[in-house]
Copies of this chain bind each other. A is one copy, B any other.
Amino acid sequence: MEMTAQKLADFLGAHLEGDGSAIITGVASPENARPEDLIYVDAPKHVSRAEDSAARCALVPQGTLLKDKTLLIVSHPKVAFAKAAMWLTEELHVASGVHATAMVDPSSSLAAGVSIGPYAVIEADVRIGADTEIGAFCLVGRGAEIGNSCRLFPRVNLYPGARIGDRVRIHSGTVIGGDGFGYVLGDGRQIKFPQIGGVEIGDDVEIGSNATIARGSLGATRIGRGVKIDNLVHVAHNVEIGEHTVIAAQTGISGGCKIGARAVIGGQVGFGERCTIESGATIGSQAGILPGKTVRAGEPIWGTPARPLAKFKKQFAWFERLPELAARLRNLEHQSK
């Protein structure tokens, strides 16, 4: 897309200084930018990178000067940059039109503008909303529902009955609605506990590659509106995740956990069964939350078993000095003899 600096400034609510007629066609890092790319400055250390850049226009915070550049002054340059990027850069289609090799069961209904890639399979009684794109090799199981303007990248699998909101993006290899991992020991063997519940994914959710979101066992697994889930994350049966929570790669969430809204969860975190995480909580990478525990908001938590970061730091500082403490203790013992 091509637009002028002035138009973009208007769209972003930015104050413009410089040449409002400068043409902007994309976004880039300072080093990779062509003259018509927009760049941003978010910290004083970015200024010299920006000055050396070929870009003609830059998003900057109040008070930043860049020689010979047209400036779009905003309070949050990185946020404005992200918004500009969504407007300027057009994403490649995941699919366009319904491909001749896509197999759509006649009992399913596709709204206007739905695209389905080669070799995708849409089973019976599926409903797909307007303008949704389904990539190659996707499988949408019987009775699943997908909202409007979604993107299933190639090779996503929705098990039967999964329900997906609007504007949801799911990346390649991710499996939604597989059986939860529930067995009961009886007669000396593991007997499968019924895994017949649903999975519901809210609007504006994005899920990375090769993640797994299990269906509920009897109830449902629920991912709230705006949640972002990174690659290789595991969400077990009957988990509920509140709106706008962010979960980094390789984290695993055991069955029945309730995670609040706007929580920030690092990578490789492990949640035991039936944890409760308050809205707004922050959990550091690799933390381990014991089954049934409650994590409060307010202070980041860390470690296994997880505890408030400040507490951990104090304890850990002494852990590092354990050899010294032991020597001092030995010394005292020696004196007291």
Contacts and interface: CB of A to CB of B under 8 A. Distances in A.
A103 interface: yes
Contacts of A89: 194, 196
Interface residues of A, number: 105
B139 A181 contact: no
A82 B194 contact: yes
B214 A231 contact: yes
Nearest to A153: B178
A270 B155 CA distance: 27
B85 A196 contact: yes
A157 B210 CA distance: 11
A9 interface: no
B249 A252 contact: yes
A6 to B, nearest CB: 22
A273 B322 CA distance: 29
A186 B328 CA distance: 48
Interface of A: 27-29, 31-32, 76, 78-79, 81-83, 85-86, 89, 92, 101, 103, 117-119, 121, 135-137, 139, 141-142, 153-155, 157, 159-160, 171-173, 175, 178-179, 181, 183-194, 196, 204, 206, 208-212, 214, 218-219, 226, 228, 230-232, 234, 236, 244, 246, 248-250, 252, 254, 267-268, 270, 272, 285-286, 288, 303-305, 307, 314-316, 318-323, 325-326, 328-329, 332-333, 335-336
